[in-house]
Structure 1
Amino acid sequence: MKKSFYISHFVRNALAPAARIIRPENPKSAEAIQTEDLDGDGKYEIIATYELYGEMYVMILKEERGKWYKLTIKGAGSGIDYMNFADITGKGKKDLLIGWQIGNIWNELDLYTWEKNTMKRIVHGLSYSKVDIFDRLEQKSVALALWSYTTGDVYDIQLVYWDGRKLAHVKDSRDYYTERVVPYYEQKVKDMPKSAFYWYYLADAQINGGTPKDALKSIVKGMALNEENPSKGEFLALRKKAKRNLIQ
C-alpha cells in the first residue's frame, strides 16, 4: 500500500497540474499507473495514462543511475481504449501496445518498442474494435488478433505477428479460431438459436478452426431457419467451402 501510494504521488508530481490520470478501458486488468520492464534491464519503468486539455498521453518514467527521466507519448482520439505489454518483437523484453479511442466502436493501435534509450513506434494506426494477444505455441512467439466490427456483433478478424521487420498475417489460424472465435459464436447461437445469421458465422469460424464437420452441422441448422439473411446461396457457398476442407 505504501509503495503504491508513493508511486501515485511520484507520478502526479511529474505531471502538469491540469493533467487528469485516466485508466485504459481494456484489458479490464489495466490500471492508470502500471509498472513494467520495457528495456529488459531488470528494473521496472512506471507507465501512466492521462488526459491534458482534451489530448491523450502516455508517460513513461525511467530510472537510470539514481536519476529519473520522463518520456511522453501523445496519442489521438478522445480516450485510451487499450494498453498492454507483450514481447511482440521477440527480443526478450516487453513492448508497449496502446489503443487510442477514435469512435464508439473504432480504435487505433500503436506498437512501441524500446530502442536507443527511447520508445520507438514501429506500428501506427492499426484500426480495430477489439484487440487480443495470444501465444503461437509452435513458433514460441506472441501474436495479435484484431477484431473489426462489421454488423450485428459480427467481426472481421485479422491475425498478425512480427516477422522481424513488420506485422505479417498468421498463416495457420486454426488454434486461435478454435480457442477464441468458435466459443464466441457458440455463445451467440446459444443466446439466439433462431438467428440464422449467427449459425452462418459459427460455421465459418468452425471451418477456419479446422472442424468442417461441425461447420456442416451448423450450416444445416442455419439453413433450416429459412431466413433471408444470410441467403440460401450464401449458405450453399459456405457448405462448399466446408466440404473442400473435409478432403484437405
Structure 2
Amino acid sequence: MLPVQIIGLALAGRALLEKYAGAPSKDVRTPIDFLATNFANNINGLRKRLSAVNPLNPLFRALEPSMLQFKRLVFGDGQERDDYEEIIEKFMPDKGELLLPERPSYTRELHLTDLDGDTKRELIASFRLKDEIRTIILKKGKDGWYKASEISNPGYHVLNYRNVVDISGTSKRHLVLGLSARGKPSVLCGYTFENDEVHEVFSYECNKFDVLRKSTYRKVPLPTSADMSADVERSAPLPADIVLWNKLDDGTYDISILRWNGIEFKPAVGDYTNYYRKKAVPYLAIKAKYDPYSVTNWYNLAEALVKAGAYSDALTAIKVGIDMDKEGIFKDRFQALKNECLFG
C-alpha cells in the first residue's frame, strides 16, 4: 500500500471512530493521532453528544412533571420515603452498606413495587456486607413490615443492575439482579417471588449484559367460545429480552440476544439492528479509539456495524482492520464480513 493510501486509510479510520465514539477535545489527542486517550472522558463526551442531538429531548422535558408525579406516587413524598429508609435500616445489619444500582438510570436505593401480584407493594433494597451482596424483600402485614425473603449473592461487590421486569410477557414479574466483582465474570440473575419465598429462575455469567425492556404491546387471540369470534384479539406486553456478551479467547465477542420461552432463554428472532446501532457500536468504537492498533477491536467494531446495517462504515472498519492484520489472523473473517456488506 502506498504511503498516501495509508494516510488516507488512517484518516478514514479516525473519522469513523469520531463518528461513533465522539470527537476528542482540542487539548487531548487519542492513540489514533499516535498519542494516548482518556477512556472515561470519551464515554462522558459520547453521552453529552447523544443527549444534545436527541430529538426526543423536547418530549422528555414535556413529560418531566408527569414523571415527577409518578415518582411521588411510587416512592411517596420526602417524609414517606424517609420512613421507608428507616424501615429498611431496621432490617439491615449494622455494617451493611445500602447500594444504589448502576442501572437502570432512574433506579433508586429503595424499590417499592408489587412483585408477587397480590396488589400490595413490597419494599426491595440491596446492601453489601463484607464479601457479599444481599437483597431483602419486605412486606407489610397487620403488625407492620416484616422481612419476607432475602437473596444472598456471595463473592460480589457491585450492584450493576436491579429492576422488576416482565421477562415472559405474561405480566408475571421477575426481580432481575446484575452483579460483578473484580477478577470474575459478571452474573445476571432472575427471581420470582411467591408466598413469601424467592425462587431463582435463571442465572448467567457474562462479561457484559443488557436487559431490553419493550414498551410496545403485541396482539394475542382471546380464548374462543361458541359465541366469540376466533379472531378477537387483546393487547399483551412483549417479553423483555436479555443480551449477554461473552469475550472469547481471541478477544472477539459472542453477543447473544435471548428471549424467554416459558421454560428457559433461547436465541431471539427479530430485527435487532437498533440495539447494535445504539449500544454495541458506540461501546466497541470507544474501545477501538482507546486502542486503535488492536486488530481485534477493529474486527469487533466491523462486525457490530454489519449487524447494525451500517455497511458503508463497516467496510471502512474492515479496510483498517485488514491493514492492521499483518499476520492475517482475521483475514478470512474480515473477508466474510466484507462479502456480507457487498452481497448480503
For the Cα contact (< 8 Å) 2:251–2:296, is it kept in 1? no
- Deviation, 1:155, is 3.7
> Which of 81, 95, 99 in structure 2 is aligned with 1:22?
99
Q: Within 2, Cα distance between the matches of 1:111 and 1:202?
A: 30
1:137-163 C-alpha deviation (Å, 9 max, x unpaired): 586331111223457986432211211
Structure 1 residue aligned with 2:83: 6
Which residue of structure 1 aligns with residue 170 of structure 2? 91
Higher strand share: 1
Aligned residue number for residue 145 of structure 2: 68
**Other structure's SS at 2:301 match:** helix
Deviations 1:164-220 (A, max 9, x none): 111111133433223321232344445555654333222211222344454333312
* Higher RCO (CA-CA < 8 Å; seq separation 6+): 2
Corresponding residue of 1:133: 211
Aligned amino acid, residue 54 of structure 1:
D
The residue aligned with 1:165 is 263
- Provide the identity percentage: 27
Which amino acid in structure 2 is aligned with residue 76 of structure 1?
P
1:178 corresponds in structure 2 to: 277
- 1:78 is matched with which residue? 156
Verify: 1:55 aligned to 2:132, yes or no. Answer: yes
The one-letter amino acid paired with 2:207 is S
Structure 2 SS opposite 1:85: strand
Structure 1 residue aligned with 2:197, among 118, 121, 128?
Answer: 118
- Displacement of 1:7 after TM fit? 1.0
Aligned pairs (5 A) from 1:167-246: 167-172=265-270, 173-189=272-288, 195-225=294-324, 227-228=326-327, 231-244=330-343, 246=344
Provide the aligned C-alpha RMSD in A: 3.1
Distance, in Å, in 1 between the alignment partners of 2:193 and 2:295 is 47
- CA–CA distance in 2 between the matches of 1:28 and 1:147? 20
CA–CA distance in structure 1, aligned partners of residues 213 and 131 of structure 2: 36
State the AA in 2 paired with 1:77.
Answer: G
Structure possessing the higher radius of gyration over alpha carbons: 2
Match in the other structure for 1:45: 122
Q: 2:93 and 2:154 mapped to 1: Cα distance? A: 19
Equivalent position amino acid for 2:146 in 1: Y
Distance 1:188 1:80 in 2: 22
Q: Return 166-175 or 227-236, whichever deviates more.
A: 227-236
What are structure 2's unaligned runs of at least 5 residues?
1-77, 219-237
Matched, 1:108 2:175: no
TM-score by length of 2: 0.60
Hey, which of these two has a bigger chunk of helix by percent?
2
Task: Confirm or deny: 8 A CA contact 1:37 1:93 kept in the other structure.
Answer: no
How many residue pairs get matched?
244
Alignment CA distance shift 1:154-1:226 (3 Å) = closer
TM-score of the aligned structures, taking structure 1 as reference length: 0.80
